[in-house]
Amino acid sequence: MVTTASRRWFGGRGDSRRADAQAAKDAAAAAFYELDTAQRDLRISLETIAAGDGSPAARQAAEAFAALGQRIDEASHVYIEAVDAHDLDRPELDGAVAGRAREELTRARDGLVRVKAELDRFAQGIQPLLDRAETQLARVVPARERAKAALLAASTALDEVRARGMRADEFAARLAALAPELTLLNQGAARHGVQETVQRADRILRDAEGIRAELERLPERAAEIDRRLVSLRTRAQALRNRADRVDPVLSELRRRFSAACWQDLQQVPEQAVQDVGRAEQELVRAAQAREEQRWGDVATLIEAVRSALDSTDEAVSAAQDRLTRLEAVARDPQAEVQRTRFAIRDAQRLAMEGRSVPDPRHAGPLDQSVARVDRAVASLEGRHPDYWHFLREMEEVRAAVGRVVADMRGRRGANG
């Protein structure tokens, strides 16, 4: 009886040690699981910070987490060794071994708990960085979605234009050029950073919206181009007809006025015909580009034709304008003289306002203007006066007087 009781007593104590060891193992396992979960969560937080914050503080947090990871690995290694060293399910496990297992597993658990506490403190310390990074990352998703929506709208507009029989190859190429940017955008802020990702999304949005707007205007633009082509052809023909009428005007100038009044216009008729011919050739090229729907080339050619016709129009008009002005000054040169003298007198009155003696900087140029007018009037004496020189001299004098007036007013304004 005594022997049996003694065995039961020792057997019960061994079971208790085994149970204690198992409880220590379970506690260590729970601590290991909590630490592993916290580490994985914190790693996600650090990835969020890295994606949303490129500051030195964020880099320091990543370095600190790496150092903390070494201590986590060490504590985990101790735990795993303790678990692997003791098979608590062995039937022949004696009490002493169970006691050592409990002690080792308890120490492993304590190490895991200490590192978990460090991890928790570290998580609290980086919370402001995480909050800031999450705020930054919150900008990424809306920006990316807006960019994708703009690309979809541009693609839809391209399909609609093509359905109306327009190739719109230029716009298709521009949309295709955005594909690599979209690929980079989809790689996300974790790879490229928040700022770069948001900026890329904004560029895609801006470019896609521009393409969509141009595509939506394309039918109207095509119709406007057709109208402009017709208008430019009509204008070119009208200028050709007007150029043919320059010769009679030049004949009248030669008959009535000195050579100095018309020599610079001698080449106008021939030059006008050549310029109109070149403009008509450009119009043919523009029409071909319109047929091929090369809209950018069409716009460039149309602008070149318009500019050329403007210059030709001015040249053709110059002959008739010259004749009209010369006839007027020949009838009454005093009208130009009086207009110029009035401008000079007005400037002289302004120069004397509030002064007993005019400023030499203004008096000198005005006196020179008076002398120029006198010389110009004297040049009209004789059989074949150069009225064209006279007109230009009057214009230059008025311009010089205008500069003096502007200077006087500017100085007075600066002086209050």
pTM recorded for the entire structure = 0.51
Give yes or no for residue 416 having a pLDDT over 50: yes
Residue 6 has what pLDDT?
35
Percent with pLDDT over 70 in the chain: 92
Residue 54 has what pLDDT?
66
Nearest by Cα to 185 from 136, 227, 156, 151 = 151
Residue 19 has what pLDDT?
81
Q: Residues 134-173: pLDDT tens digits?
A: 777 777 888 889 999 999 999 999 999 998 888 888 889 9
Q: What is the mean pLDDT of residues 379-387?
A: 85
Place 119 in a pLDDT band, splitting at 50, 70 and 90. Answer: confident
More confident residue, 353 or 195: 353
DSSP 189-255: HHHH-HHHHHHHHHHHHHHHHHHHHHHHHHHHHHHHHHHHHHHHHHHHHHHHHHHHTHHHHHHHHHH
Residue 7 has what pLDDT?
36
Q: Measured between alpha carbons, how far is 316 from 332 in angstroms, rounded to an integer?
A: 26
DSSP 35-68: HHHHHHHHHHHHHHHHHH--SHHHHHHHHHHHHH
Q: CB-based contacts of 256: which residues, under 8 Å, 6+ apart? A: 326, 327, 330
Residue 90 has what pLDDT?
64
Residue 52 has what pLDDT?
67
Give yes or no for residue 205 having a pLDDT over 60: yes
Q: What is the mean pLDDT of residues 98-117?
A: 84
Nearest by Cα to 166 from 215, 128, 199, 211 = 215
Q: Residues 322-348: pLDDT tens digits?
A: 999 999 999 999 999 999 999 999 999
Residue 368 has what pLDDT?
94
Q: Measured between alpha carbons, how far is 324 from 334 in angstroms, rounded to an integer?
A: 16
Q: Residues 10-64: pLDDT tens digits?
A: 445 556 777 877 787 888 889 889 988 988 988 888 877 777 666 788 778 878 8
Residue 323 has what pLDDT?
92
Q: Measured between alpha carbons, how far is 205 from 313 in angstroms, rounded to an integer?
A: 44
